């Protein structure tokens, strides 16, 4: 059995050398033509040393197969070269580099195989019987799990301290603070569970590693224990659920009066941009109908609705600090998601169905910059729902300012109902009247 295995290893050797020659030859052919980048050189050097070591190994093992495959190598090498020439777009060096990587991997596999053989030989020379050898391997695994436990615990600490510190920022809205509290409570509970269960899992794996001298403890069930660990998570979860439920209702279930009093801003998503419309003097965004959309009236605003006339077009989302804001979210084409991480705001933009989010910003951009100690820091609106090729770059700046700054900014913005829009609106209403007449005639003739 063992001998058979060894012969097979020879076959692998042969294959490896065959491949080595196969991929090595074209490099000589192309060193003068191909543009050798720094990258390539690096690979080449690594690999030539690899080839050397492999050749050395070959010398020690007399191998007929290797020579056989080596003779056939030049032909195949030519074939590769021809294939490369047929496609002028990709330089041949690319193939060579790729094959070097493949080769590197084959070499790694090769080393693993050798190590495996060395271990087998070691086990044989130690006079271990198969069963003993297997037991050895089993106890190694138990030790690995113990080491794994230590690494795991340290890894948890390291992740929290490093990645955790750079990812968690205080929420910049009032409801966001409630979400943060929930988040922190949940993090504490789950971290405790994570650590305790892993200590148990890896610890038991180590402590109760198998031995021929011992028999496991026959312990099929214990109803009391099972009740405890059904009820404990149930109680903890009930607390989390209730807390979460009321937080969620507090965020989403805003009384209508309160919603109406808030600053009205309409956001319309499209591939791959955000359109912003403020309610204007009357704090009401005008009605719209997607059928009215034209290149000029991109949002399909219905200007027969008086409240649409003073709607304001804005380049960025600018919000006064401490004032409630009511966002109405639309989409013109596919699903998008209105997501401002620091605000703890996310709601999908759904074509044909407006969605809402009510927030009260807590900090101005300036204050937040001081908090995170970064003078260039900005709140940012992202798209969080896959929406097409530009999904990864669908952004809008969100700026929170004091009330006075906000008023000043607002006074500089333009209306949606500007000159071009007015002109188009007039033309449309004229043609509509004409259409109505035609329609009326049709009705008559149909009757």
Partner 1 sequence: MATTTTLPAADYNHNDHHDHGHKETFITKYVFTQDHKMIAKQFLITGIIMAFIALFLSILFRLQLAWPEKDFPILEVFLGKWAEGGRIKPEFFLALVTIHGTIMVFFVLTAGLSGTFSNLLIPLQLGARDMAAPFMNMLSYWFFFVACVIMLASFFVESGPASAGWTIYPPLSALPTAISGSGTGMTLWLISIAIFIASQVMGGINYISTILNMRAKGMSLWRMPLTIWSLLFTAILGLLSFPVLVSAVVLLFFDRSMGTSFYLSDIIVQGQILAHEGGSPILFEHLFWFLGHPEVYIVILPSFGIVSEVISINSRKPIFGYHAMVYSLLGISVLSFLVWGHHMFVTGMSPFLGGVFMITTLIIAVPSAVKVFNYLATIWRGNIRFTPAMVFAIGMVSFFISGGITGLFVGNAAIDIQVHDTYFIVAHFHLVMGSAAIFGMLAGVYHWYPKMFGRMMDNRLGYLHFWITFIGAYFVFIPMHFMGIDGVPRRYYAFTSFEFMEKWLSVNVFITWSAIIAGLAQVAFAWNFFHSMKHGKLATQNPWGANTLEWTTPIEHIHGNWPGELPTVHRWPYDYSKPGHSEDFIPQTVPYSETMSSNLPHDFEGNPEAERIQREWEAQQLVVDEEGK
Q: Which region among 27-35, 41-49, 327-335, 422-430 touches partner 1 (by CB under 8 A)?
A: 327-335
How near is the Cβ of 276 to partner 1 at its closest, in Å?
18
The first and second tokens of residue 75, run together, are 């032909």
| Chain residues 366-405 in contact with partner 1, contact rule CB under 8 A | 376, 378, 380, 382-393, 395
For the bound state, the minimum distance from the C-beta of residue 24 to partner 1, rounded and expressed in Å, comes to 18
Considering only CA atoms, which of 174, 197, 318, 187 is closest in space to residue 251? 174
Contacts of 244 (CB under 8 A, 6+ apart): 182
Stretch that binds partner 1, among 14-22, 140-148, 316-324, 419-427 (CB under 8 A): 140-148
Instruction: Determine which residue in the list 197, 430, 431, 433 makes contact with partner 1, applying CB under 8 A.
Output: 197
The stretch near partner 1 (CB under 8 A) out of 16-24, 58-66, 209-217, 308-316 is 209-217
Among 42, 61, 186, 431, binds partner 1 (CB under 8 A): 186
Quick count: other Cβ atoms within 10 Å of Cβ 99? 19
122 is an interface residue for partner 1 by CB under 8 A: no
Of 205, 273, 410, 421, which lies in the binding site for partner 1, with binding defined by CB under 8 A? 205
Q: How far is the CB of 341 from partner 1 (least distance, A)?
A: 3
> Who's near 325: CB < 8 A, 6+ residues apart?
262, 263, 265, 319, 358, 359, 360, 361
Residues composing the chain: 447
Beta bridge partners of 275: 268
Does position 137 bind partner 1 by CB under 8 A? Answer: yes
List 9, 51, 198, 415, residue binding partner 1 (CB under 8 A): 198
> Under the criterion CB under 8 A, does residue 6 sit at the interface with partner 1?
no
Q: Are strands 414-415 and 396-401 parallel, antiparallel or unpaired?
A: unpaired
Nearer to partner 1, 105 or 408 (CB): 105
Cβ atoms of residues 126 and 136 within 8 Å: no
Sole binder of partner 1 in the list 15, 46, 58, 300 (CB under 8 A)? 300
Residue 391 is classified by DSSP as G
DSSP state of 285: P
| Helix H or strand E encompassing 400 | strand 396-401
Name which of 171 and 312 has its Cβ closer to partner 1.
171
Residues 6 or more apart from 51 whose CB is under 8 A from it?
A: 20, 24
Residue 24 touching partner 1 (CB under 8 A): no
Among 71, 72, 190, 422, binds partner 1 (CB under 8 A): 190
With contacts defined by CB under 8 A, how many residues of the chain interact with partner 1?
A: 121
Binding status of residue 134 toward partner 1 by CB under 8 A: yes
- Show contacts with partner 1 in window 329-358 (CB under 8 A): 332-335, 337, 339, 341-342, 344-348, 350-353, 355
Burial 174-187 (b: 16+ CB within 10 A, else e): ebbebbeeeeeeee
Angle at 194 between CA 191 and CA 200, to 5 degrees: 140
- Binding partner 1 by CB under 8 A: which of 81, 189, 309, 399? 189
- The reply on whether position 166 binds partner 1 by CB under 8 A is yes
C-alpha span between 26 and 20 (Å, rounded): 11
Question: Does 411 engage in binding with partner 1 (CB under 8 A)?
Answer: no
Q: Does 248 bind partner 1 (CB under 8 A)?
A: yes
Contact 295, 376 (CB under 8 A): no
For the CB of residue 80, give the shortest distance to partner 1 in the complex, in Å: 12
**In 3D, which of 414, 436, 412, 421 has the Cα closest to residue 301?**
421
Window 92 to 121, contacts with partner 1 (CB under 8 A): 94-95, 97-98, 105, 108-109, 112, 116, 119
The DSSP symbol for 292 reads: G
């Amino acid at each position: 059995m063992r001998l058979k295995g060894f012969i097979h290893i020879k076959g692998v050797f042969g294959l490896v050398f065959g491949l080595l020659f196969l991929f090595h030859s074209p490099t000589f052919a192309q060193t003068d033509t191909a543009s050798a980048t720094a990258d390539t050189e690096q690979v080449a050097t690594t690999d030539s040393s690899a080839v050397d070591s492999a050749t050395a190994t070959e010398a020690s093992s007399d191998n007929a197969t290797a020579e056989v495959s080596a003779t056939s190598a030049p032909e195949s090498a030519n074939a590769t070269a021809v294939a490369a020439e047929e496609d002028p777009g990709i330089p041949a060096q690319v193939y060579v580099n790729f094959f070097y990587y493949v080769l590197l991997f084959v070499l790694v596999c090769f080393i693993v195989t050798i190590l495996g053989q060395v271990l087998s030989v070691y086990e044989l020379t130690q006079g271990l019987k198969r069963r003993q050898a297997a037991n050895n391997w089993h106890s190694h695994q138990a030790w690995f799990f113990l080491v794994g436990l230590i690494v795991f615990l340290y890894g948890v600490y390291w992740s929290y301290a490093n990645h955790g510190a750079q990812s968690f920022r205080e929420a910049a809205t009032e409801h966001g603070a409630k979400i943060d509290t929930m988040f922190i409570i949940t993090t504490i509970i789950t971290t405790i569970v994570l650590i305790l269960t892993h200590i148990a899992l890896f610890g038991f794996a180590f402590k109760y590693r198998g031995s021929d001298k011992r028999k496991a403890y026959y312990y099929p069930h214990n109803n009391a224990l099972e009740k405890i660990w059904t009820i404990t998570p149930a109680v903890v979860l009930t607390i989390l659920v209730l807390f979460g439920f009321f937080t969620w209702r507090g965020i989403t279930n805003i009384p209508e009066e309160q919603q109406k009093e808030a600053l009205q801003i309409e956001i319309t998503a499209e591939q791959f941009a955000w359109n912003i419309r403020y309610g204007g003097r009357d704090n009401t965004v005008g009605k719209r109908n997607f059928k009215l959309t034209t290149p000029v009236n991109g949002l399909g605003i219905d200007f027969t609705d008086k409240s649409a006339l003073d709607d304001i077009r804005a380049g960025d989302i600018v919000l006064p600090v401490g004032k409630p804001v009511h966002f109405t979210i639309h989409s013109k084409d596919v699903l998008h998601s209105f997501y401002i991480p620091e605000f703890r705001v996310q709601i999908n933009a759904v074509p044909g169905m407006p969605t809402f989010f009510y927030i009260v910003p807590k900090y101005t951009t300036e204050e937040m910059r001081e908090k995170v100690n970064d003078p260039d820091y900005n709140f940012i609106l992202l798209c969080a729902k896959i929406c097409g090729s530009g999904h990864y770059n669908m952004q809008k700046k969100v700026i929170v300012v004091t009330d006075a700054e906000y008023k000043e900014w607002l006074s500089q913005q333009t209306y949606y109902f500007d000159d071009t829009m007015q002109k188009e609106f007039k033309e449309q209403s004229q043609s509509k009247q004409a259409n109505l007449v035609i329609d009326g005639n049709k009705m008559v003739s149909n009757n």
